[in-house]
């Protein structure tokens, strides 16, 4: 299984900063052993489409997608619109959207469904808060979140990507140990296998809790970690390139 390293830029960037970052990535990425993805804010998708033109080594992704195909949904961006900009992946259900926009498990599952219908691979995010982990609820929370995506997208389960992002390790400087991350990834793999054993072997599981240049190699060496959903380190070309190299 080819690993996937996805950079989530979150609400960061500018026309000038984006150009400098992409130029540095294009200059340093070479022919990577893994698949590489960058997900800028929606406002910059057109710019990134141009900056990545002719670059087969780096794919373009979106940070969100509407659960609706179109219509009177002011501010939403449909999967079909994203596809017109060459978007190949879309993050759905990131913990920040679950927290700040109140996104439910079912809503996230429907967003994944819309992405798949437009030929876009959804990256379905799951993860627990610190309080939930301390209460021993990690397994219950991540399996509940994933179960909705499985139920809604059962026929196309093999086509999704799942990202485990412990909320307590996002932007805090903390990270799960490789063993802690592997334990949850193995749990998610077993849940997928119970739904569709063949699909479970094809679905890539990404770790998304503050993976960085220093810890990437140890995390990516775990048997059920098939890549990373990278936050802050994705905004620094040397760090992101180091993580890409670790995926080899």
pLDDT per residue as tens digits for the range 189-220: 999 999 999 999 999 999 998 899 999 999 99
Please count the structural domains in the chain.
1
**pLDDT band with cut points at 50, 70 and 90 for residue 122:** very high
What is the share, in percent, of the chain residues with pLDDT greater than 90? 94
**Helix, strand, coil percent values for the chain (each to nearest 5):** 50, 15, 35
| pLDDT above 80 (res 127) | yes
Where is the binding site for substrate, in residues? 8-10, 171, 210, 231-232
Q: Distance between the two ends of the chain, CA-based, in angstroms?
A: 12
Q: Which residue has the higher pLDDT, 216 or 130?
A: 216
Residue 105 has pLDDT above 80, yes or no: yes
The binding site consists of 8-10, 171, 210, 231-232
From the candidates 35, 94, 103, 185, which is the catalytic residue?
94
* Rounded-to-integer distance, Cα 44 and Cα 85, Å: 10
Q: Give 179's pLDDT tier (boundaries 50, 70, 90).
A: very high
Compute the average pLDDT of residues 82-107: 97
Note if 94 is an active site residue.
Answer: yes
Q: What pLDDT sits at residue 46?
A: 98
- Helix axes 105-117 and 138-152, enclosed angle (nearest 10): 40
Average pLDDT value for the chain: 96
Active site residue 165: yes
Residue span of the structural domain in which 31 resides:
4-246
**Nearest one of 7, 41, 11 to 24, comparing CA atoms:** 7
Which tokens is 152 given? 């809604």
**Predicted confidence band of residue 228 (pLDDT cuts 50, 70, 90):** very high
Quote the tokens at residue 22: 């992409």
CATH number at residue 79: 3.20.20.70
Tokens representing 80?
A: 């079909």
The one catalytic residue in 103, 128, 165, 185 is: 165
State mean pLDDT over 178-188. Answer: 97
């Amino acid at each position: 299984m080819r690993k996937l390293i996805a950079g989530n830029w979150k609400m960061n960037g500018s026309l000038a900063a984006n150009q400098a970052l992409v130029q540095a990535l294009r200059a340093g990425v070479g022919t990577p052993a893994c698949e590489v993805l960058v997900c800028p804010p929606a406002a910059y998708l057109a710019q990134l489409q141009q900056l990545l033109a002719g670059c087969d080594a780096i794919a373009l992704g979106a940070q969100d997608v509407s659960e609706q195909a179109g219509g009177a949904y002011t501010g939403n961006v449909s999967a079909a619109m994203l596809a017109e900009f060459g978007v190949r992946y879309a993050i759905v259900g990131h913990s920040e959207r679950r927290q700040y926009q109140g996104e439910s498990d079912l809503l996230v599952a429907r967003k994944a469904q819309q992405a798949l219908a437009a030929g876009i691979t959804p990256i379905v995010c799951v993860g627990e808060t610190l309080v939930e982990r301390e209460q021993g609820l990690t397994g219950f929370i991540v399996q509940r979140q994933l179960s909705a995506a499985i139920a809604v997208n059962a026929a196309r389960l093999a086509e999704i990507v799942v990202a485990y992002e412990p909320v307590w390790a996002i932007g805090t400087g903390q990270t799960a140990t490789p063993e802690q991350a592997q334990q949850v990834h193995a749990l998610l793999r077993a849940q997928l296998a119970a739904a569709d054993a063949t699909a479970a072997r094809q679905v890539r599981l990404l770790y998304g809790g503050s993976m960085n240049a220093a810890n990437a190699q140890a995390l990516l060496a775990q048997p059920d970690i098939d890549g990373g959903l990278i936050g802050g380190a994705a905004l620094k070309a040397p760090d992101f390139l180091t993580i890409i190299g670790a995926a080899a």
